[in-house]
Structure 1
Amino acid sequence: MTTSASPCHAHEGWLLTPEAAAIRPEEATAVVADVHLGYEWARGNAGDCVPAHSLAETVDRLGRLLARAEISRLVVAGDLVESARPCARTAADVFRLNDWLRERGVELVVVPGNHDRSLFWMCARRPKSAAPGPIVAPAELTVSGWTICHGHQPSRGDRVVMGHHHPALVVDRFAAPCFLVGSRLMILPAFSPNAAGLNVATAKGAKPWLSHDLTCVASAGVELLDFGPLSTLAARIGGRSPAPAPRPRIA
């Protein structure tokens, strides 16, 4: 199997990046999904001891993204936060992220996902004297004719960008987050490194990509690799079936 490599990948007017973002240059807008900010606080509430890391990782990745293109709006296609329950520490991290982006001239817009039920509670905690917090959009948002949604519910859009499924390419014990892209559907990888991936080569059941002719574009960290049609991916990966993907910890 041969692949082509490039730092970014152009698709239907979008610029896909190794940071798991899709940029729409004419709107100065970047779209990401499944940030799961506050993952460590949610795990801590469940009894696990997890170092604080999700905000620093998010800011580091966004810093690399902002260095690639002029961006004035960051749209999160669902699951900005991990905990669906009110969490003061997660709220503080959301505001820190929002302020970090504002300092760089970037507006934060969130299309709510299934984990984001606590967002309105968090935004209500923002002091009235403080700068505006993140904008919580309706269930769907339009960017350059594409409908941005989370993907946990059916979309009425004709051309859709979604997250939720955390697509990944898994070969043996190596897993890489990947984009699934077609002429009318684009599924983003999880922006959070804590979100274990769903192996797209072996995933079965009622997945949104089954009725679409999609291509797998995987991130190798500093570049993207085009693995060609998803429909033949399993047969082309080394002539053998990939090992089962790790069970996703976040959905």
Structure 2
Amino acid sequence: MPNALSESRACLPPPHPPEVAKGVILDARHALVHAEQGWMAIADVHFGYEARRRRAGALLPDWGMPQCERVLHELVRDHQPKRLILVGDIMDGSGTVEETLELLKRLTESVKIICVLGNHDRAGLKRGMSMIPSHREGEFLFEHGHLPLSDHEGVIVTGHEHPATHFRDGAGLRLKLPTMVQEQISAKTQRWILPAFSPWAAGGEYTSEHKRLQTWACGKGRVWRV
């Protein structure tokens, strides 16, 4: 007979990053990794969020930028990708170009970076880095998602939406976790929406008219299917 402890253990998420498709894992640190093809993708870094708002007078702690950079270096170290694909909104907006370019310069010392243009990425960043509207790796097409999606047979990997899942216990406790959404948008095309990488991007419930295939919640050190 199962006891309470064995039942609770059965409810735990898996200890290792799960495969969200054959050969593709989702790291709990909000990174999508395809080891065989050699790429890792993240979206919505929004680097410089607190710096931009502090300059405008907001009282925000100066911790988001160091955390973003530390986790990025850890992901590159742990997965050793050949290419790091930044799927748009690399910077947060005007006034954070210098900080973002310095970050990208440091990252290029350990990995090749591919920068996909997002709606927050300003002209100064384009002058300092090569920015492209989309990037393809085999059956995967990467674009930010703020514009109408390209006509592509395969998987379109986007960001922009900052999806999150809300958990409630019915007694007032609420928990919101960044989430990756996989949906079918046509007979031959799926869209995978990455969780926002920025620690400031709380996210919200994502809904659409398309068929939901899977939802993956990212907790501290864990990813599980919702």
Shorter-normalised TM range: 0.7 to 0.9
The answer to whether 1:5 aligns with 2:14 is yes
Q: Distance in 1 between matches of 2:143 and 2:161?
A: 12
> What 5-or-longer segments of structure 2 have no aligned partner?
1-9, 169-173, 185-189
Residue in 2 that maps onto 1:180: 181
Amino acid at match of 2:211: H
User: Residue 185 of structure 1 contacts residue 212 of structure 1 at CA under 8 Å; is this kept in 2?
Assistant: no
8 A contact 2:181–2:212 mirrored in 1: no
Change (3 A) 1:162 1:122: closer
How far apart in 1 are the matches of 2:116 and 2:125? 15
Give 1:1-251 correspondences, 5 Å limit.
4-12=13-21, 13-83=23-93, 85=94, 87=95, 90-104=96-110, 106-116=111-121, 118=122, 120-124=123-127, 134-137=129-132, 139-156=133-150, 157-158=152-153, 159-172=155-168, 173-182=174-183, 184-200=190-206, 203=207, 207=208, 210-227=209-226
How far does residue 95 in structure 1 lie from its aligned partner after superposition? Answer: 2.5
Per-residue CA distance 1:128-168 (angstroms, 9 max, x = gap): xxxxxx4311x221122211111111112232101111111
In structure 1, C-alpha distance between the alignment counterparts of 2:136 and 2:90, rounded to whole Å: 18
Question: Counterpart of 1:199 in 2: which secondary structure?
Answer: coil
The answer to whether the 8 A contact 1:33-1:162 is kept is: yes
* Preserved CA contact (<8 Å) 2:18 2:26: yes
The amino acid that maps onto 2:197 is: F
Return the alpha-carbon distance in structure 2 between the equivalents of residues 121 and 146 of structure 1: 28
The Cα of 1:92 is off from its aligned counterpart by 2.5
Task: Identify the structure with the greater strand proportion.
Answer: 2
Partner SS state of residue 52, structure 1: coil
CA distance in 1, matches of 2:55, 2:101: 20
Task: Return the alpha-carbon distance in structure 1 between the equivalents of residues 76 and 92 of structure 2.
Answer: 23
Structure 1: distance between partners of 2:53 and 2:213? 34
Structure 1 residue 99 displacement after superposition: 2.5
Residues paired across the two proteins, number: 204
Q: CA RMSD in A?
A: 2.1
Q: Deviations over 1:97-151 (max 9, x none)?
A: 12221222x12221111111x1x32353x5xxxxxxx4311x2211222111111
| Structure 1: runs of 5+ lacking an equivalent | 127-133, 228-251
SS at match of 1:34: coil
Q: Structure 1 51/4 Cα, relative in aligned 2: closer, same or farther at 3 Å?
A: closer
Distance (Å, rounded) in 1 between the aligned partners of 2:67 and 2:77: 16
Q: Distance in 2 between matches of 1:51 and 1:41?
A: 9
Compute the TM-score of the two structures, normalised by the length of structure 2.
0.82
